[in-house]
Structure 1
Amino acid sequence: MEKRFAIAMDVGGSHITSAIVDLSEMKVFEESLFKVSFDSNLPTAEVMDFWENAIRTLLEKSEVGKLSGIALAVPGPFDYDDGTCWIKDQDKYENFYGLNIKDLLRERFDFDLDFPIVFENDATSFGKGEVYKNMENLPKNVMAITLGTGLGACFIENGKIVSTGTTVPTNGEIWDLPYKNGIAEDAVSLRGLLSNYQNLTGIQANNGLELYILAINGDKKALEAFHLFGEDLAEIVLPWLKSFNANMLVIGGKIANAGDLFLNSFREKAKQSGIEIELILSTNNETTALLGAASLLYKA
């Protein structure tokens, strides 16, 4: 079978990470990994200079003659089918509002109109990337969540995103689900974790790292804050694991690095609910989103 290759890009507010992906085996060539930091609020042309340089650098470094497409993991709001950016008032890509990224790339390269340029949500790309890391995961029902400043989620069946139907929440999102006196993201995010500690002690920790250091040094209230975080996570996630008949739960995001501090309480809640689940903790997201975005170009 003829080898197929693509360029995948993970587009952040202050950086892009890009690499060549072997679409035949769904593998990222880590030696091709290229990262660059920049201010995404610069004028559009200047930002696109960084993007163009990243793509040309990859083409020059690699021995790939013909590309089968470019896949980008991009934060929302964004029209992922059309390629139009609708990011506004988020202190990133302020000059890209209403612009079509496909057109901007075609202005820089002599791509044919039928050359695939595809887009995927960044949180969704993470989830799909974790599935495609091991092709044995493709037949599974997978729920993936990202824990950080926000609460991201996606549901994957046979390698495809499921965002409609009765087995998943509206649009496949859980961040805005009603929970306690607010929404899920109020409890299961960095602010929720810090709020737990403040409620227990009356002290406002400066950031997640400070709280993590307190916990690993044995601070009982910090440990309890993480314990409560795991219980809240379980209360929010378990009903959807059951509804979706999930075989696997993938947890990523910066808070995943502290998994040892909150997963015991999560597992205990799962056990009490009679739910057995394969749990994957992803603490290396660098190439995962690239693989997930590139999965849009994968042909079994």
Structure 2
Amino acid sequence: MNKEYAVGIDIGGTHITAAIIDIVNMKVIDFSLHKESFDSNLPVKEVMSIWEKAIRISVENSKVEEIKGLAVCMPGPFDYTNGLCWIKDQSKYEHFYGLNVRYLFQGTLNLSNEFPILFENDAVCFGKGEVFKDATNLSKKVMAVTLGTGLGACFIDKGVSVSSGELVPTDGEIYNIPYKEGIAEDYVSARGLLSAYKSLTGENLNNGLELFNLAVAEDEVAVKVFEKMGEDLASVVIPWLEKFDADSFIIGGKIANASEFFLNGFHKKVKESGVEITVSVSTDNEIAALLGAASMLFTV
């Protein structure tokens, strides 16, 4: 069987992960996974140089000579067809608003206009990757969320992403659903966690990891904040689990690593609602996202 390879790229608010994917067998090539952390609010040129470094190291370590295309998972709002970034007022990618990221990749990596560079929502990539990893999901309706700098979501019916129609929210997104005093992402995200901790203690933490470490150390407020986020997550997704008639709910993203502190709150709310759903937490978010992204190259 012929081998075909793509660069799978997972871009978040604070990191880029690149790997070479065998898109025939849907697996990551050994030694090709490379990650760089960075501040996404740096000037565009500096961010692109970090992205270039991650991609080039990944390609070099894979020993693969021919790449079929780039498959990129990006957070929204983003015009995935045309490669335009519309992220604004989200404490990330402040200098990318209105820019064509496809052109930026072409210029930085010296790629031709014909070289495939495809974009998809990071949560959709994650969800598709989880479906690819577990063949039983190919016959089911799956809702997946990514919890991190922001709140991502996707709805997948028998392996196909659904982002329009009455059964899903506008564009398949839940981050901007009106919730309490703002939108869902104000409460279910790293920003929401840190804000909640500050409101209870008056203390500013630098990031979600600090809060997680406090929870591990049995800090009562930190534990309470995570549990409340779990309840908020449930309140946000329950109406859509019902509308979509989902069989399975998958949680991913960096904050999924703290599931021991928020799952009880989540399960409690779901049980109270009467919704019956299989809930799972991804153990390798990035691999799932990379596989889901690379699956776009099947049709190119």
Query: Could you say which TM-score interval applies, normalised by the shorter chain?
Result: 0.7 to 0.9
User: 1:20, CA displacement in angstroms?
Assistant: 0.8
Corresponding pairs, count: 295
2:202 aligns to what? 204
Change in Cα spacing, 1:277 to 1:87, as seen in structure 2 (3 Å) is closer
The secondary structure found in structure 2 opposite 1:32 is coil
Gaps of at least 5 residues in structure 2 are none
Distance 1:101 1:163 in 2: 22
- Output the CA distance in 1 between the equivalents of 2:105 and 2:245: 41
* 8 Å Cα contact 2:32-2:59 kept in structure 1: no
Query: Aligned partner of 2:258: which letter?
Result: A
Q: Give the residue type in structure 1 aligned to 2:179.
A: Y
Compare 180-189 and 23-32 and name the one that shifted more.
180-189
Query: Is the 2:105–2:111 Cα contact (8 Å) retained in structure 1?
Result: no
Counterparts of 1:245 and 1:134, CA distance in 2: 19
Q: Summarize the Cα distance change of 1:35–1:243 in structure 2 as closer, same or farther, 3 Å threshold.
A: same
2:48·2:108 contact (CA, 8 Å) conserved in 1? no
Residue 270 of structure 1 aligns with which residue? Answer: 270
- Alpha-carbon offset, residue 62 of structure 1: 3.0
Q: Select between 94-103 and 153-162 the one with higher mean Cα deviation.
A: 94-103
Distance 1:204 1:129, change over 3 A: farther
Cα 1:63/1:186, change in 2 over 3 Å = closer
| Greater shift in the superposed pair: 70-79 or 211-220 | 211-220
Q: Tell me the residue number matched to 1:259.
A: 259
Deviating beyond 6 angstroms after TM superposition, the runs of 4 or more aligned structure 1 residues are none
Q: TM-score, normalised by structure 2?
A: 0.82
Q: In 1, Cα distance between the equivalents of 2:150 and 2:44?
A: 28
Structure 1 unaligned regions, length at least 5: none
Structure with max Cα Rg: 1
For 1:171, give the aligned amino acid.
D
* Cα distance in 1 between the residues matched to 2:209 and 2:59: 38
Instruction: Output aligned runs, 1:1-300, within 5 Å.
Output: 1-12=1-12, 15-37=15-37, 41-42=42-43, 44=45, 48-87=48-87, 92=93, 94=95, 97-99=98-100, 101-102=102-103, 104-105=105-106, 108-109=109-110, 111=112, 113=114, 115-197=115-197, 202-207=200-205, 208-298=208-298
Q: What's the secondary structure of 1:225's corresponding residue? A: helix
1:261 to 1:135, Cα distance in 2 relative to 1, 3 A: same
Shift in Å, 1:139? 2.4
- Given the two structures, how large is their TM-score scaled by the length of structure 1? 0.82
What's the CA shift string for 1:89-108, capped at 9, x where partnerless?
Answer: 75537268433525752784
Distance 1:218 1:57 in 2: 40
Distance 1:111 1:59, change over 3 A: farther
Flag the 1:150–1:93 CA change in 2: closer, same or farther, 3 A: closer
Q: Is the 8 A contact 1:5 1:21 kept in 2?
A: yes
CA distance in 2, matches of 1:204, 1:103: 41
- Report the CA distance between 1:177 and its aligned residue: 1.8
1:205–1:70 Cα change, 3 Å: same
Q: What is the deviation of 1:19?
A: 1.0
Distance in structure 2 (CA, Å) of the matches to 1:77 and 1:270? 28
Structure 1's 295 and 232: CA in aligned 2 closer, same or farther, altered over 3 A? same
Shift of 1:119: 0.9
Q: What CA distance in whole angstroms lies between the structure 2 residues aligned with 1:162 and 1:59?
A: 32
Q: For 1:85 and 1:178, how far apart are their aligned partners in 2?
A: 23
Q: Secondary structure at the match of 2:168?
A: coil
Task: State the 1:211 CA deviation.
Answer: 4.1
